[in-house]
Amino acid sequence: MSTKHFFPSTEGVVVLGLESLVARNKHLALDAPNKVIYSKTHHPSKVTVISGGGSGHEPAWSGYVGDGMLAAAVNGEVFASPSTKQVMAAISHVPSDAGIILCITNYTGDNLHFGLAREKAAGMGHHVAILRMTDDVALGRKQTENTGRRGLAANMYVLKLCGSAAEDGYDFEKCMKIGEAVNANAVTVGSSLDHCHIPGREHHRSVPDDTYVLGMGIHNEPGLHEKAPMPSVEEIVSDMLKYCLDPADKDRAFVEFNPDDVVCLLINNFGGISNFELEALTTVTRKVLEKDWKITPSRIHVSCFETSLNAPGWSISLLNVSGIERQTNTSIHTLLHLLDRDTKAPAWPRNGYKESQLPKKQAQTSSNNTTETTTEKSPKVDPTTIESALRAACTAAIKAEPDITKWDVQMGDGDCGEAVEGMCKGVLAKLDAGLCKSGALFPILDEVEAAVEEIGGTLGAIISIILASYTSQLRLAVAKEGPGLEVDVKRSGQAAGQALKNLMGYTSARQGGRTVMDALIPFCEGLEGEADLGRAVEAAEKGAESTRGMKATFGRAAYVGEQGAETQQDAPPDPGAMAAAIFLRGFLDGMGTKQ
């Protein structure tokens, strides 16, 4: 694998690539500041399908934007999830009266940032849902029980069939049902000769000569295992297909393949395999499928679909179309029509590049006006009380920054204290600017959430999601009962309880895993169950303190070995959980006797 590049670093390269894509495809437009590619021809009467993720996987995701696939794609930096702000920008460019589907690859950053965007968009009145794409079979059920399976190249089948259904005018529920069924009937396994190399960064460890890696991912993460000496190509393919098809492998038999099922094959180039070898690998795969598994693919797609920069690897994906038929009651004929349907997406094989007429401007204009103005509909709170509570909470958290940092240095990367301080200073700046003066609750909550989101990171995303979801629940209540709604502690508890449930849909972290959830879960559940803010804060503090000596099973601290702390019993409390508890105690104290 070459470590030489024409660009000495990745800085600025993402946008340069997107500019090239738009320059040669007249139906596409670029929002450069947000790194969003969107279709100028998407009609708001049709379901909007959006996807995205880190760059370095080109042509994913922007190469799949066009009628018949994606309405928009969001691009992060190399191997980094796009921010919530970027996802919201994509939603604003391709609004839909029928609904919006966010297709994500089930990595932590994507779950959190797209999840927060979903909460925000729902609060603005959009009908929006997340469709997680999880086709990897290299890592079995046991290894992925906490995080879920990775999304790999069979994602493309989800985007193609879901996007074609949207273009054909299918309603939101049917598009979601087809997309979920495609994901449930798709499997992928990858292998590689080496890791990729990112311009401007230190070289990742090399895979030894005469060795290949089975189960390689697309972010330089280690594979399932290395095999040496190199077996024959037929043996490699046979081994890969067993991970996809062997019903005796109970840890990985994710999809049932019956005799006579209609199956499609997708061969993906990780970016560093020559077409000379890739086509030959495809033929070997087809022959082994027929010989060992009596499967003759009805469709074969071969290309760079979802790469890993210049990694010298490839992957096999299989899609059981008959399984989708059984799950959705959609005929195989119809499903193959959706798969074969023409699309303007430039990266999909066999698509045409014809010019398209833009839809009537009037239709776009009417749908663009979707942002709900909530100030006049917002419940009122006492300005002095809410400002005092927020100031006290922020001050307490900032004061605790040295301790939070100390705890995080021992078990993490040491940035938690700085992040918490940044969030709180952002909130204080908004308070200084008169945020609470009107007493309108929704603008206050929106601005506090925005200050938290601005800092980024996993902790920021989790807090942002629960705040946005809490606000959305209150907005739904106001829409139902009117702006005179009283937001008392009981109503707050109900909203917090549902917000917690929504948050838990975006993260697998639970109480007992040594994360901020050890404070948030008892707080929200306590507030909902007892309608007593003081007792809920006590529950959060107790949950945070319980993380002392706790073994981490989620988050970055889960990767710290025995040398990360002298013993697990000596481990400090989780910094995120403690920060949340300290903030909540400060908020309660700042309110005085009011709840």
Give the residue from 195, 163, 210, 178 showing the smallest Cα distance to 66.
163
Reported for 245-253, long-range contacts at CB under 8 A and 24+ positions apart, including other chains, are: 245/187, 245/293, 245/295, 245/318, 249/140, 251/140, 251/141, 251/142, 252/137, 252/140, 252/141
Classify residue 510 by burial, with Cβ atoms within 10 Å: 0-12, 13-18, 19+.
middle
Give 34's DSSP letter: G
Give the residue from 582, 589, 561, 547 showing the smallest Cα distance to 402.
582
Q: What are phi and psi of 100, to 5 degrees?
A: -125, 130
> How far is the C-alpha of 515 from the C-alpha of 522, rounded, in Å?
13
User: In residues, how long is the chain?
Assistant: 595
CA separation, residue 585 to residues 277, 384, 416, 537 (Å): 62, 18, 19, 6
Q: Which residues have a Cβ under 8 Å from the Cβ of 329 and sit 6 or more positions away? A: none
Q: Is 567 helix (H, G, I), strand (E, B) or coil?
A: coil
Residue type, position 500, single letter: L
> How far is the C-alpha of 527 from the C-alpha of 119, rounded, in Å?
21
Query: Please, what sign has the CA dihedral across residues 461, 466, 469, 474?
Result: negative
Give the residue from 356, 408, 469 showing the smallest Cα distance to 128.
469
Q: Is 563 helix (H, G, I), strand (E, B) or coil?
A: helix
> How far is the C-alpha of 384 from the C-alpha of 343, rounded, in Å?
57
> How far is the C-alpha of 510 from the C-alpha of 527, rounded, in Å?
18
Q: Which residues have a Cβ under 8 Å from the Cβ of 538 and sit 6 or more positions away? A: none
Q: How many other CB atoms are found less than 10 A from the CB of residue 498?
A: 17
> How far is the C-alpha of 272 from the C-alpha of 274, rounded, in Å?
6
Q: Is 219 a catalytic residue?
A: yes
Residue with token string 């907005």: 475
Pairing state between β 128-132 and 72-78: unpaired
Whether 360 and 218 have beta carbons less than 8 Å apart is answered as: no
List the structure tokens of 269: 């180039």
Q: Which residues have a Cβ under 8 Å from the Cβ of 593 and sit 6 or more positions away? A: none
CA separation, residue 391 to residues 101, 160, 387, 428 (Å): 38, 49, 6, 7
Catalytic residue among 219, 225, 301, 333: 219
- Binding-site residues for substrate, in ranges, read 54-57, 110
> Could you give the residue numbers annotated as active site?
219
